Amino acid sequence: MTYMFEKMQYIKQNMLPSARQKYPRYQLFAYGEGGQAEMFRDPSTPVQGVPVLFIPGNMGSYKQVRSLASVTYRMGHHRSLTTQFDFFSIDFNEEMYGFYGGNIRLQTEFLKDCILHVMSLYTNPRYKPTKVVLVGHSMVLYGIHSCMYASITMPNEKNK
C-alpha cells in the first residue's frame, strides 16, 4: 500500500472535440498531488517535466497510476532531482478487452490521440518532449505494441 503525502488529484484533460465524439466512453486524466497538480488545471502554467502515460490493463482503473506517481514524486523530491515526471492516465471505462478485439482497436486509437494530446501540452520549445514514457499494466501490451508498430503516425512524420 502506498501512503499519499499530499491530496491526490485526477484532473480531466480536455481532449479535442473530435476525440470526445469518437471515444465518448474514454477519458484522459493528469495525476498530481498537492500544488504539483495545479499546473494541469491552469493552461497558462507551463508543463515541463517528463511525460509519463499510464495505461490500465483489462478492466483496470485509471486510478491505478496513483501508487507509481506518488512514489516517483517522493523519490524525486528526496533525491533533489531537477527533472520531474508528469503523470497522465487513461480511463478506458474499466472495459474488458481481453476477449474482444474491437475494444483493443478503439483503445489503441484513443491511446494514439492521448499521446498526441500529452505532447501538445508542452508548449515551451525548451521542454518540448519528443517521446512519452508508456507504462502499461497487464494485457495492455497489445495496445502499446499496436500503437508502436501499426503505422500510427506522429506529428513530426510526413503523413499526419
Q: What does pLDDT average to in each consecutive run of 10 residues of the chain (160 residues)?
A: 75 92 95 82 82 90 92 83 90 80 80 92 88 82 62 48
Q: What domain count does the chain have?
A: 1
Q: Which residue has the cell 498537492?
A: 34
Is 142 contained in some domain? Answer: yes
Cell numbers found for residue 43: 493552461
Burial readout 16-36 (b: 16 or more C-beta within 10 A, e: otherwise): eeebeeebeebbbbbbbbeeb
Structural domain harbouring 67: 8-152
Is 37 contained in some domain? Answer: yes
Q: Quick one: pLDDT at residue 158? A: 46
Is 1 contained in some domain? Answer: no
β-strands 50-55, 133-136: how paired? parallel
Is 15 contained in some domain? Answer: yes
CA gap 80, 86 in Å, rounded: 16
Helix, strand, coil shares, percent, the chain, to 5: 40, 20, 40
Q: Quick one: pLDDT at residue 159? A: 44
Is 67 contained in some domain? Answer: yes
Q: Which helix (H) or strand (E) holds 52?
A: strand 50-55
CA gap 115, 69 in Å, rounded: 18
Phi–psi pair at 152, nearest 5 degrees: -85, 125
pTM: 0.84
Is 2 contained in some domain? Answer: no
Q: Which residue has the cell 518540448?
A: 128
Is 158 contained in some domain? Answer: no
Give the type of residue at 94: E
Cell numbers found for residue 137: 499494466
Q: Quick one: pLDDT at residue 27? A: 97
Catalytic residue among 18, 44, 67, 138: 138
Establish whether 138 is a catalytic residue.
yes
Q: Quick one: pLDDT at residue 98? A: 64
Q: Quick one: pLDDT at residue 114? A: 94
Q: Quick one: pLDDT at residue 154? A: 52
Is 32 contained in some domain? Answer: yes
CA gap 66, 72 in Å, rounded: 10
CA gap 16, 65 in Å, rounded: 23
Q: Quick one: pLDDT at residue 13? A: 94
